[in-house]
Chain A
Amino acid sequence: MPDFLALDFMRQALFAALLVGIAAPLVGVFLVQRRLSLIGDGLGHVSLAGVAIGILTGSAPVLTALVLAALAAVAIELIRVRGRTSGDIALAVMFYGGIALGVVLISMSTASSPANLTAYLFGAILTTSASDLQVFALLAVVVLAVTVTLRPRLFAVANDEEYARATGLPVTALNLTLAILTAVTVVVSMRVVGLLLISALMIIPNASAQVLASSFRSSVRWAVLIGVLASIGGVVGSFYAGTPSGGTIVLVAIAIFLVATGGAALRTRFRARRHRRAEAHEHEHGPGCGHPSVPHGDHVDYVHDGHRHAPHGGHWDEHADPSLPTPDPDRATATQGEG
C-alpha cells in the first residue's frame, strides 16, 4: 500500500477526487455540446459570494454557495432563452459581481483569512472536513444518477433544441435541470479543484475525449476516465509535491489533453499517407445502389468498375482489389480520421 493511503485525510481526499472526477466531465459534456463551456467558470465566481455569505452569517458555506449557484444557473438559462443581445452583458455583471462580492464579504469576516479565500478559489482538498465530505458525496451521487438517467434527453436537447421542441420534449425543464446540475457540480468540486478552476475539470477531459472517441457514448466514457485520472493523479501529485490540489489536477488534465491531441495528429498524418482517395463521382453508394457490396472489416466496400470504394466521411476511398481472395483487414483506413 502506498504510504499516503495510510493517512485518513488522504483517503478522504482521494474519495472526494474520485467523485468530482466522475461528475464534472459527465455534466460538462452537455455544456461543451451546447457551446456553453465557460458557464461553469461563471457559476464558480457566483459561488464565491455564496461561500462568503455563509462565512459571514455563520451558516454552512456549502449550503449558501449551493443556493446562490443554483439561482445564478437558472437566471443564466432564462437570460439565454430570451436571447437578448444584452444578455451577454448581464452575465458579465452577474459573474464579476459574484466574485467581487465574495472577496469583499470574506475580507469583512473575522473568521476567515486570505488563506481561507485561496482555499476556496484554488482548492484545498486536504482541509475538507468529514461532514462536508458526506454532503459532497451525497450531492455527487444525485448528480450522477440524474445525469445518467436523463442522458438521452439532455443529448437530444443539446444536439437540436428545435427538433426536441417539435417532438414535445420538455426543453425548458431539461435545460433548467442541466443548469442546476452544473451549479451543484461546481459546489461539489469547489474544495477539490477550487472555484476558479472547476470549469477546467468539466471541459478539458471532454476536449481530450472528443479527440479519442468516435461516438457520443464512447466520448463520455473517455471523459470520465480522463477526469478520474486527472483528479486522482492531481491529488497524489499534490501530496508529494506539496502543491495545491486544484492547480495540480488541472495541469494533469491539460497534460493528458496535449498527449491526446498530439497522438491524434500523428495518427492523422500516418493515415493520410496510407489513405487513397477514390476518383470523384456523383453516384452515392449505399445498400441497393446497384454496385456489388463486399464486407470489409468494420465497413462495406462497393465494387465500382473493378475496384473497391469504401465510405470515408463525405467521400470515397480506394480499398483493396476485389479479385484478391481475402481482403486485407486494413482497418486503419476505414475508421475515421481526417475528413
Chain B
Amino acid sequence: MRVTDPVLTLRAASFGYGDVEVVSRVDLDIHAGEVVALLGPNGSGKSTLVKGVLGLDAHLAGEVELFGVPRDRFRDFTRLGYVPQRHSLSASVRATAAEIVEVGRLPHRPWWRPPTREDRRIVQDALDVVGLGDRAGEDVSTFSGGQQRRVLIARALASQPDVLVMDEPTAGVDAGNQRVLVDVLHRLVARGTTMVIVTHELEALEDLITRVVCLSGGRVDFDGTAPAYAAHCGVHSAGDDHHPHLTPAGPGIGRDTGVAGPFDTEHDDEVSPRA
C-alpha cells in the first residue's frame, strides 16, 4: 500500500442514531501511514464518527469511503481493525486470551472452516506483540483492565488490518499498563500501521501521532499537526474547557493519579440509547 492511498474519505458525512444527528457534514481524508488522534470534549461526536464509519451507528448523509470503496459496498472487513471502548470483557463465561483473539481471524475464513495452524500462529503473534504471549491460555476475566485492553488490541491485530481504529485505548488504564500500551502502539507505528485513535489523553500518545483532528459539537474544529494543535489551544484562554490537553493549565488530568479528571469521565455519553 502506498503512503498516499486513501484509507478513509468523508465528504459532508453525517452520523447519528435514530433521527438524532450527532456528527454533521464532516469532511476528512485519512491516508495510509498516518496516525491520527481524534479529540474533542464529551459529546462532541468522536465515538459516533468512528462507529458511523464502521457501520455501528447510522450513516445519515454525505459520502463515506473506505479504501476508496463506498461504505455500503465495502466488504473487505479484514482491512479494518476495530478496538472498541470496553471497561471489561464479558465475564459471563470463561474465555482465554487466545480464544478472544481468535475471533479476529473469523472474517478471514468461510463459516464452515475450522481454524488452521496458520490462524493459531497469527493469534499467538498478535498476543506476543501486545506482551501477553505467555498468558494466552489464561481466563481474561482474571486480567486487569489494561491487560484486557491489550487483548482487544491483539484481537484487532489478528485480522491483519490495514488500519487500526481505537476508541479510547488508554482510558481508565493504570500507569504501568499505559506505558506498555504506548510501547505496543509505537511498535505498530514502526511497522507502518495506520491508526485512528479516539482519545482524551493526547499527552500519553504525543510521540506517536502525526495528526490531530478535533471535533466540537459534531463538526471538525481543528485539523493539523500536534504542535499546531498546541498553538491552537494556546489561543483559547486558560480555563476554557474546550481543549483540555496540552494547555499549560491541565496536562493529563487524573491520568497518573488514578483520580478521575473532568475529561476522563466520558465513557458512554456517545453510546446510542438502544445499546
A interface residue numbers (CB < 8 A to B): 29, 32-35, 82-83, 149-150, 152-153, 155-156, 158-160, 162-169, 206, 210, 213-219, 281-284, 286-289, 293, 298-300, 311-315, 336, 339
Contact = CB atoms under 8 A, between A and B. Distances in A.
Interface in B167-208: 174-177, 179-180
B99 A217 contact: yes
A35 B92 contact: yes
Contacts of A339: 142
Interface stretch (B33-41, B103-111, B229-237): B103-111
Given A215-B94, A215-B137, A286-B180, A167 B274 contact: no
A313 B142 contact: yes
A153 B106 contact: yes
Interface residues of B, number: 53
16 contacts: A35-B92, A152-B102, A156-B106, A160-B103, A167-B80, A168-B77, A206-B93, A214-B139, A215-B139, A216-B95, A286-B131, A287-B134, A288-B131, A289-B131, A314-B144, A314-B147
B90 interface: yes
Contact of B82 (A166, A283, A288, A293): A166
Interface string B104-141: 10110001101100000000000010011111011100
Contacts of B94: 210, 213-216, 218-219
Given A156-B106, A336-B138, A167 B180 contact: no
B79 to A, nearest CB: 10
B135 A169 contact: no
B142 A33 contact: no
Contact of A33 (B93, B107, B177): B93
B55 interface: yes
Most buried by A among B56, B93, B100, B128: B93
Contacts, number: 136
Nearest to A217: B99
Contacts of A164: 103
A156 B106 CA distance: 9
Contacts of A169: 106-107
Q: Which 7 A-B pairs have the closest CB atoms?
A: A314-B144, A286-B131, A168-B77, A313-B142, A282-B176, A284-B176, A156-B103
A61 B138 CA distance: 46
Contacts of B174: 282
Contacts of B145: 314
A301 B132 CA distance: 13
Contact of B77 (A83, A167, A293): A167
Contact of A215 (B99, B144, B274): B99
B133 A287 contact: yes
B180 A284 contact: yes
Nearest to A222: B94
B77 A311 contact: no
B245 interface: no
B69 interface: no
B59 interface: no
Contact of A32 (B84, B86, B93, B100): B93
Nearest to B81: A167
B155 interface: yes
A216 B112 CA distance: 19
Nearest to B107: A167
Contacts of A213: 94
Contacts of A167: 77-78, 80, 82, 103-104, 106-107, 159
A34 B137 CA distance: 22
B274 A83 contact: yes
A159 B147 contact: no
B54 interface: yes
A149 B54 contact: no
B18 to A, nearest CB: 11
A203 to B, nearest CB: 12
Contact of B131 (A152, A155, A287): A287
A159 B139 contact: no
B244 interface: no
B84 A284 contact: no
Nearest to A81: B274
Contacts of B177: 284
Contact of A166 (B56, B90, B100, B102): B56
Contact of B143 (A168, A210, A313): A313
Contacts of A206: 93
Given A163-B155, A287-B128, A281 B176 contact: yes
Nearest to B130: A286
Interface string B68-91: 000000010110101010100110
A152 B159 CA distance: 15
A59 B133 CA distance: 58
B96 interface: yes
Contacts of A282: 174-176
B146 interface: yes
